[in-house]
């Protein structure tokens, strides 16, 4: 009799524990991601295959390297000259033909005057050409599907649009703390240093990309 009671109590306790853990797991699953419905999970999962994971490890190594590497004199000049009004966008985010067009039109730079003296302009143009989106390496995707087109805005690049297509506008344009997709560093905290990994995204007022 007593043994049977003990068994019953044991079974009830086990049931409680299992039930609670099931609730916990469900809640965790539901809470992960930033809102579930807006995000197309399937395309997201597709990108998370083996090679991407390998890529992630390599990126992590690159990020640590980028954060500790001191800036060269010309990089410092670039940040000083081009980072006063907006983030000094890493040169690798645009192809050489785009930088060429931008540097030739600084007198009307998206409606602003961003003139430089001739010497500084020549020096920075050289740097931007040399550091622009390459065919290989971290930034090779930026020129995907671009051919020889010379878009003036990073936000016009097919790859950029593809990567940001799922983000609801209320997180960006409708978000006082962000305002526009041009403000990379509002969400990509390492943007200035060329670090754009998805795992490090924090949208102000919304939260992390991956829960």
- CB-based contacts of 67: which residues, under 8 Å, 6+ apart? 190, 193, 195
- Our CB check for another protein shows the closer of 39 and 116 to be 116
Write down the least CB distance from residue 80 to another protein, Å: 9
Q: Is the separation of the CB atoms in 97 and 144 below 8 Å?
A: no
Decide whether 86 or 209 has the Cβ nearer to another protein.
86
Q: Which CB, 121 or 193, lies closer to another protein?
A: 121
Residues 6+ positions from 97 with CB-CB distance below 8 Å: 148, 149, 150
Shortest CB 193 distance to another protein, Å = 17
Q: Which helix (H) or strand (E) holds 53?
A: helix 50-68
Shorter beta-carbon distance to another protein: residue 103 or 143:
103
Output the smallest distance, CB 165 to another protein, in A. 23
Q: Which residues contribute to the site for another protein (CB under 8 A)?
A: 84-87, 107, 110-117, 179, 182-183
Please, what is the minimum distance in Å from the beta carbon of residue 182 to another protein? Answer: 7
Closer by beta carbon to another protein, 162 or else 177 = 177
Residues 6+ apart with CB under 8 A from 209: 34, 198, 199, 201, 202, 203
Radius of gyration in angstroms for the set of CA atoms belonging to the chain, rounded to a whole number: 24
Cα separation, 62 vs 59, whole angstroms: 5
Question: For the chain, percent helix, then strand, then coil, each to nearest 5?
Answer: 60, 5, 40
Which residues, other chains included, contact 32 with Cβ-Cβ below 8 Å and sequence gap of 6+? 210, 211
Minimum separation from the CB atom of position 189 to another protein (A): 16
Q: Which is nearer to another protein, 179 or 207 (CB)?
A: 179
**What minimum distance in Å lies between the beta carbon of 119 and another protein?**
11
């Amino acid at each position: 009799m007593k043994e049977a009671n003990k068994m019953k109590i044991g079974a009830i306790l086990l049931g409680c524990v299992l039930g609670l853990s099931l609730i916990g797991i469900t809640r965790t699953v539901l809470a992960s991601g930033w809102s579930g419905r807006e995000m197309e999970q399937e395309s997201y999962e597709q990108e998370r295959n083996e090679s991407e994971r390998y890529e992630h490890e390599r990126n992590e190594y690159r990020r640590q390297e980028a954060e500790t590497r001191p800036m060269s004199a010309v990089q410092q000049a670039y940040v000083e000259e081009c980072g006063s009004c907006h983030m000094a966008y890493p040169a690798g985010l645009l192809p050489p033909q785009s930088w060429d067009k931008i540097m030739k039109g600084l007198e009307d730079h998206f409606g602003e005057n961003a003139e430089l003296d001739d010497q500084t302009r020549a020096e920075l143009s050289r740097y931007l050409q040399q550091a622009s989106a390459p065919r290989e390496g971290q930034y090779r995707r930026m020129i995907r599907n671009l051919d020889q087109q010379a878009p003036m805005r990073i936000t016009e690049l097919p790859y950029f649009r593809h990567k940001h297509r799922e983000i609801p506008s209320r997180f960006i344009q409708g978000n006082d703390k962000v305002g526009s997709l041009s403000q990379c560093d509002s969400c990509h905290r390492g943007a200035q240093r060329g670090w754009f990994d998805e795992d490090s995204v924090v949208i102000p007022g919304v939260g992390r990309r991956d829960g």
